[in-house]
Amino acid sequence: MDFLDEPFPDVGTYEDFHTIDWLREKSRDTDRHRKITSKSKESLWELIKSLLDAWSGWVVMLLIGLLSGTLAGVIDLAVDWMTDLKEGVCLSAFWYSHEQCCWTSNETTFDDRDKCPQWQKWAELMTGHAEGAGAYVLNYFLYILWALLFSFLAVSLVRVFAPYACGSGIPEIKTILSGFIIRGYLGKWTLLIKTVTLVLAVSSGLSLGKEGPLVHVACCCGNLFCSLFSKYSKNEGKRREVLSAAAAAGVSVAFGAPIGGVLFSLEEVSYYFPLKTLWRSFFAALVAAFTLRSINPFGNSRLVLFYVEYHTPWYMAELVPFILLGVFGGLWGTLFIRANIAWCRRRKTTQLGKYPVMEVIAVTGITALLAYPNPYTRRSTSELISELFNDCGALESSQLCDYINNPNMSRPVDDIPDRPAGPGVYNALWQLALALVFKIVITIFTFGMKIPSGLFIPSMAVGAIAGRIVGIAVEQMAYHHHDWIIFKSWCRPGADCVTPGLYAMVGALRPLTETRCDGVPSGGVTRMTVSLVVIMFELTGGLEYIVPLMAAAVTSKWVADAFGKEGIYESHIQLNGYPYLDVRDEFTHRTLATDVMRPRRNDPPLALLTQDATTVEDVETLIKDTDYNGFPVVVSRESERLIGFVQRRDLTLAIKNARQKQDGVVSSSVVYFTEDAPQLPASNPQPLKLRRVLNLSPFTVTDHTPMETVVDIFRKLGLRQCLVTRSGRLLGIITKKDVLRHMAQMMNQDPESIMFN
């Protein structure tokens, strides 16, 4: 009797920090599917079950879309409210943000909005004095206090409940989706804590964004709903299909770009999927986007983060400043990456790493202290960005639009930009310059702390500030020097020629292309991914401004590349050394499989089993002595003809099981991997047949196969290991880890940086 006919618990599952075997997962799912389809013919109930099973995928997508959309909306609202809470409170309803509070009052432009009576700053509320030094100091003090409170809560929650909730999470998600197991990284607790602490961290005024973490949150949702259906919870491969769709939903709500989200999940995080999942991802992304829009946190029924609409086109000559912006972007990108990585190293290595809470508190304190006095750093970063994007319209009354009107013009048409800048603008320029420096410095120290932190919004802000400054400069130059040859052609007096807001946008969208922060794709002609361009499309709406954007993006990337190719995100992944096999980098070295396989020249011979000549004891010792994930099985040590591969874990479980359940199985009984064990005399101990756990179709390549092909195979088929043969003889084995090591070596990196297997 073969007791293995009924499968025993968790055969074919994986341990923590292990790589999954995609092919195996896939065929397991196909078996499952076959069973269900065959059963479904039996009874109506089975039929219904099979239908439910077929639809479960869509149900999961729907749920993911709904939940992640809702969470995103809630987070946005909460952040708005708490950010304003640092400055004051709404009397009519304390749960209103400043803007909501003042919706009632008809004045909603920037300087008048403070006039709305419902909204009171803390000082005014406590002392009754709205103005004066005292009030200012009190507000200042309370602002810092709130900030500290929020960030303290955030960091301690993370530390106590969910250490995995910190950072942006994209690198880990990429690794998980590539077929790696990190238990609890997408767990319920992480979801809950990350959502809460994200709100706290953002509203504490720290220089960080919420885009990256939102993707992590969405993935947690995905994982959560997987557990509802055994189809997904029991199959790591299928689970990852859902997760990549969830990532799409995350990007969709983070940037308000559903298509971009799908492409992102396709290019960046998806690893080994049939294209059909694309459509599911799209569905999830759409649902999420709709949910977010129906919650409508931005007050306008628009999805996109920053909606911009300019009335003036751009001119060829403007490409020069745009490209300059690109150069600046490249420089600051490189600076940032270098500094940030150096700082993270220091944190890892020195005492500093031991006091994350103190660190967060300190940084928050400094941030708040320096941010408050400057109106452009005081308000939330996204508010800042949208003001910088703004085209100075008729009703626009922000400091940035304080232009001197030509006397011969009537008031309402003051949106013609051909005007000299007023004192307000120059004042704003100074403040912006300060804000720029401040942001650059503080972000370096902020990113990588033990709180949820995205890098997208901050680097966008830096770009936007720089852009606006340049924009105003060009504008004024154009105004004062209409006669200059470069302006003559397109910028006649009174003509509508330069839009500073456009410069801000060009500057701001560059980070998308330049750092890999938040896993937003790295730029550069060679590595720039379509998803980011699509996100740009969706953010800016249409082809109109794609050329300037691209120009800036490409230059910035080239500049950045000149100083070193590493994106922030790659550097961080290296810092953690995840076994991530990037689908996009090309392997073009001349090495062969034989150079990579183990055992090497002077290693001990390959640990293998024979199909009918090993005893249970031998197997057990082999398992004890080695830590390999599996062992090839050969006909005999002489012929070395390969017949299959058996997973360590399955082997262990099988033997344990047999020893318990199957009487007569002792240490000396022989293990058979053959079709049927020979009839032994009764004296011999009962043989143990393990063909059931033997993988009869192990993947093999010849020793002459170029590594290039091997890498290709590992990527495309998502293998865990691959056996090397020469003319039918088993020579060695190549595991994913070996491949990664080898690639690292070829790129002159420390091969030991890949820690896990």
Rounded to whole angstroms, how far apart are CA atoms 359 and 155?
Answer: 10
Edge-to-edge strand order for the sheet containing 609-610? 609-610, 630-634, 642-647, 694-695
Element (H, E) at 562: helix 546-562
Count residues binding a copy of itself (CB under 8 A).
68
Q: Is 482 in the site for a copy of itself (CB under 8 A)?
A: no
Q: Could you tell me if 492 and 498 are in contact, meaning their C-beta atoms sit under 8 angstroms apart?
A: no
CB atoms within 10 A of CB 212: 31
Q: How far is the CB of 600 from a copy of itself (least distance, A)?
A: 20
Which of 391, 387, 389, 392 shows the shortest CA–CA distance to 377? 387
Q: Which of residues 545-584 bind a copy of itself (CB under 8 A)?
A: 546, 583-584
CB 503 within 8 A of CB 322: yes
Half-sphere exposure (CA, 13 Å, Cβ side) for 603?
11
Q: In this structure, which amino acid lies at residue 147? A: A
Of 64-72, 183-191, 334-342, 521-529, the window that binds a copy of itself (rule: CB under 8 A) is 521-529
168 binds a copy of itself per the rule CB under 8 A: no
**352 forms part of the interface with a copy of itself (CB under 8 A):** no
Alpha carbon of 122 to those of 96, 117, 146: distances in Å?
Answer: 15, 13, 11
99 touches a copy of itself by CB under 8 A: no
Question: Measured between alpha carbons, how far is 626 from 648 in angstroms, rounded to an integer?
Answer: 10
Candidate ranges 112-120, 175-183, 478-486, 701-709; the one touching a copy of itself (CB under 8 A): 701-709
What is the C-alpha to C-alpha distance for residues 655 and 666, in angstroms, rounded to an integer? 10
- One symbol per residue from 726 to 745: x for binding a copy of itself (CB under 8 A), - otherwise; what is it? xxxx----------------
User: Each residue of 247-269: b (16+ CB within 10 Å) or e?
Assistant: bbbbbbbbbbbbbbbbbbbbbbb
Contact (CB, 8 A) for 251 and 263: no
Residue from 162, 303, 323, 655 in contact with a copy of itself (CB under 8 A): 303
Closest contact distance (angstroms) between CB of 724 and a copy of itself is 10
SS (H, E, C) 238-277: HHHHHHHHHHHHHHHHHHCCHHHHHHHHHHHHCCCCCCHH
Query: Can residue 297 be called a binding residue for a copy of itself (CB under 8 A)?
Result: no
Which residue, 303 or 444, is less far from a copy of itself as judged by CB?
Answer: 303
For the chain, the farthest-separated pair of C-alpha atoms sits apart, in whole angstroms, at 116
Query: What is the per-residue binding string for a copy of itself in 118-147, x denoting contact by CB under 8 A?
Result: ------------------------------
Instruction: Tell me the H-state helices in 86-187.
Output: 98-103, 122-127, 132-161, 170-177
690: contact with a copy of itself by CB under 8 A: no
Joined tokens for residue 538: 């969706």
Asked if 252 interacts with a copy of itself (CB under 8 A), we say no
Q: Is 530 in the site for a copy of itself (CB under 8 A)?
A: yes
Query: Does residue 708 touch a copy of itself according to CB under 8 A?
Result: yes
Q: Which is nearer to a copy of itself, 284 or 449 (CB)?
A: 284
x-or-dash pattern for a copy of itself, window 422-461, by CB under 8 A?
----------------------------------------
* Residue 625 binds a copy of itself, judged by CB under 8 A: no
637 binds a copy of itself (CB under 8 A): no
Q: Which residue's entry shows tokens 């595991």?
A: 735
Candidates 80-88, 222-230, 618-626, 702-710: pick the segment binding a copy of itself (CB under 8 A): 702-710
Using CB under 8 A as the binding rule, whether residue 316 contacts a copy of itself is answered as: no
Site residues for a copy of itself, 13-72, by CB under 8 A, read 23, 26-27, 30, 33-34, 58
Binding flag, residue 289, a copy of itself (CB under 8 A)? yes
Residues that bind a copy of itself (CB under 8 A): 23, 26-27, 30, 33-34, 58, 258-259, 262-263, 267, 274-276, 278-279, 281-282, 286, 289-290, 293, 303, 525-530, 533-534, 537, 543, 546, 583-584, 586, 588, 590, 593, 635, 639-644, 696-698, 700-702, 704-706, 708-709, 712-713, 716-717, 725-729
